[in-house]
Structures are given as C-alpha cells and as structure tokens.
Amino acid sequence: MADLILALDLLDPMYAREVAESCAASLDAIKLGYPLILSAGLGVVKDLADLGLPLIADFKVADIPNTNGLIANQVFSAGFDAIICHGFTGRDAVEACVDAAHAYGGECFVVAEMSHPGALSFFSRGVAEQIATLAVECRADGIIAPATRPERIRALRSVVRSRKIYSPGIGTQGGDLRSVLPLVEGVIVGRTIYGAADPAKEAAVMAAIVNDERSS
Ligand code: O7M
C-alpha cells in the first residue's frame, strides 16, 4: 500500500498552488523543499494547508542536535506534518529531529541512501544499512531509499522491516513506478508530474497505477 507523494519543486508560488490543487485528488501527500520555500517563503505551507494533504518538509536537516531541534521546531510550528533529515550526522542529531517531530505528533524520515548516480560515492559499502539501522534505533518513522535502485530498497527493507520507506527517483531519474510500488510505503514524484503538459492528468495516471497495486 504505497502513497503517491508530489515533490512540489516549483519556484513560482502561484503556479505551485495551481499544480498542487489540480493534482490534489490523486495525491496522498505533498513534499516541499528548498526550491519552493526559498522562493515563496514559509507562508506557502499555510497557503497549501487547505488542500487537506499532509505536508512533508524536505530540508534534509543535517546539523548538530541543538540546531536540528531548532529547525524541526520551526518546521512543525509552520504547519508541516513530517520532516526529513539526514542520518550521517549521527544518533544525537537524528534524535533531535525525531523527538521534535513526535512532540508535535508528526513524523520524521531519515535519508538512508540517495537516488542520483553520485550517491554511490558515499552511501555504498554498508553506510546506508548503518544509517537505516540508526533510523530504527532512533525511532524514526521511516527512511528514504532510491527508486533508481530497487535492489537497494530490498536490502534496506531487511533493516527497517515494518517502518516506512519513501522512495524518490521515479520517472525522470529512471526509476520504474510499477517495479518500486510493491517495495515501499510511498513514492515521491516531482518532474514527471509537475513537468507534464497536463500535471493533473499525469498524477491521475500514476494514482491509478498506485491504486491497482493497492488492490492486487
Ligand atoms: O521526481 P524528481 O526527480 O523530479 O524529484 C525527486 C524529488 O525527490 C526531489 O524533490 C528530490 O530532491 C527528492 N529526492 C531525490 O530525488 N533523491 C533522493 O535521494 C532523495 C530525495 C528526497 O526527497 O529526499 C528526502
């Protein structure tokens, strides 16, 4: 049972709102990150809240525990429902994000391995497994693992077991939606939806595939 999560990496807040609104019926959550927040400001969170979808803050938080906690508190005060942090910073830094998330009744996801080719420089050789283990030990709600490498999702599943795996890299980065869906609790899709000639139609096509997988 995977969720369809839109990565709303657009710079124009008006257009971002238009895309989010037109796709909303097909989506389970929206992920907002630096591109939109830096161009539109944090107020965009409140602007999108009326769509009724969970909003995930993708700042890939990666600082010392005190700073991580300050960032996470700002994120949840702004109205987000979940936060994404890096795990290579270590136990205390990850715990600061998880604790803040849970204090607000929100969720925290830890990046275990990234989807782009360059990620192999550092995330291979067991590091991703160690980060996933840390995420579980820190009571994170789930991890991020690459749709571009389904075999790595399988390997990380054996570490995180029933915790959630959200997976970016579908479509534009080469990941295949149908192959990844049975492996994860959520797929994160950006350009394939918002860059389509008709984003709402593309989101509906993807949602139909997600629903097919849910009922199979
Ligand atoms: O579908 P795309 O390629 O246009 O966008 C993918 C989104 O997922 C985009 O917002 C990326 O920043 C994000 N992402 C990755 O593409 N790869 C990763 O390894 C991790 C993320 C991510 O969401 O991390 C939390």
Is the CB of 148 inside a 6 Å radius of any atom of ligand 1?
no
Tell me the per-residue pLDDT of 16-30, one tens digit each, with 9 for 90 and over. Answer: 999 999 999 999 999
Atom 15 (ligand 1) nearest CA: 168
User: Active site residue: 3, 28, 60, 201, which one?
Assistant: 60
* Interval 44-58 mean pLDDT: 98
Predicted confidence at residue 107, as pLDDT, reads 98
Residue 14 CA to residue 193 CA, distance in Å, equals: 17
Residue 58 among the catalytic residues: yes
Residue 201 among the catalytic residues: no
- Boundaries of domain holding 149: 3-215
Confidence label for 133 from pLDDT (cuts 50, 70 and 90):
very high
Predicted confidence at residue 90, as pLDDT, reads 98
Confidence label for 123 from pLDDT (cuts 50, 70 and 90):
confident
Residue 46 among the catalytic residues: no
Is the CB of 112 inside a 6 Å radius of any atom of ligand 1?
no
pLDDT over 70, % of the chain: 100
What total of structural domains would you count in the chain?
1
The answer to ipTM > 0.90 is: yes
User: Active site residue: 3, 28, 47, 63, which one?
Assistant: 63
- What CATH number does the domain containing 24 carry? 3.20.20.70
Encoding tokens for residue 77? 């005060």
* Interval 39-43 mean pLDDT: 97
Report pTM.
0.98
Please tell me the distance between residue 50's alpha carbon and the centre of ligand 1 in angstroms: 24
Q: Given ligand 1 and candidates 11, 55, 127, 188, which is best to mutate, with the most ligand atoms within 8 Å of its CB?
A: 188
Is the CB of 186 inside a 6 Å radius of any atom of ligand 1?
no
Predicted confidence at residue 125, as pLDDT, reads 77
Q: Long-range contacts of range 71-77, CB-CB < 8 Å, 24 or more positions apart?
A: 71/97, 72/96, 72/97, 72/100, 72/101, 72/108, 73/100, 74/42, 75/100, 76/100, 76/101, 76/103, 76/104, 76/106
Residue 81 has pLDDT above 90, yes or no: yes
